Structure 1
C-alpha cells in the first residue's frame, strides 16, 4: 500500500522575482524536509535559509514543525533596515 503524501509550497521572496516550488512529501514531514525537497537552497546564497526566519502563512515556525496538506512555507530574508531606525529616519 502506498504511503500517504501531502502537497505543500515553499516560497522565497527575494529582491527580484519570488521563487515558488510545490513539493509532494510523505505525511509527517517537517518544514526543513520540505525546503530540502524543493531544491530552493541550491538557488540561494549560503546564509539565506536561517531557521530563525522561517514562516507559514506569515507566522513564525520552527524547522521541526510537522506539515499538513496545503501548507505554505515562507523563507524570509533578513531585514535591510531595522524598522525602528526606518521610523526615526522618516520622522526627521
Structure 2
C-alpha cells in the first residue's frame, strides 16, 4: 500500500489566486501533482507542458522527474511580460526624469 503525502499546488494572476491542497502517493512528481490538482480547470490558460514550475519559490529544472516531499507547495509561474533588467532600467529612467523635474521646480 502506497503512503500518501500532503502537498499544495498554487497559481495566481493579478486578479485571482488559487491554492489547492491534495493528497498524492509518495513518489509523485511535481508535474503529476500539478495535473492531479485540477488547477488547469480553474485557470485554462495554463499550459503545463511549457510552464515554469517550482517548489516554494525555487524553480525546478525537470518537473516530470522531481519527486515531491510531504508538505511541499508546487508553484506554477506565469510568463514574464517584461525582462526584469529592462523593467529596472525603465524605473531608473523615470526616477531620473522626476528628480530632474523636482530640482527644476
TM-score normalised by L of structure 1:
0.87
Using the alignment, how far apart are the partners of 1:79 and 1:10 within structure 2?
20
Q: How many residues align?
A: 91
When normalised by structure 2's length, the TM-score is 0.77
Pairwise mapping of residues 7-86 of structure 1 onto structure 2 (< 5 A)?
Answer: 7-49=6-48, 51=50, 53-61=52-60, 62-63=62-63, 64-86=65-87
RMSD: 1.6
Once the 2 structures are TM-superposed, how far is the Cα of residue 55 of structure 1 from its aligned partner?
Answer: 0.7
More helix by percentage: 2
Corresponding position: 1:6 with 2:5: yes
Unaligned runs of 5+ in 2: 94-105
Q: Distance in 2 between matches of 1:49 and 1:43?
A: 13
Q: CA deviation at 1:41?
A: 1.3
Q: Which has the higher contact order (CA 8 A, sep 6+)?
A: 1
| Cα distance in 1 between the residues matched to 2:92 and 2:7 | 42
Which of the pair has more CA radius of gyration?
A: 2
Structure 1: tracts of 5 or more residues without a match: none
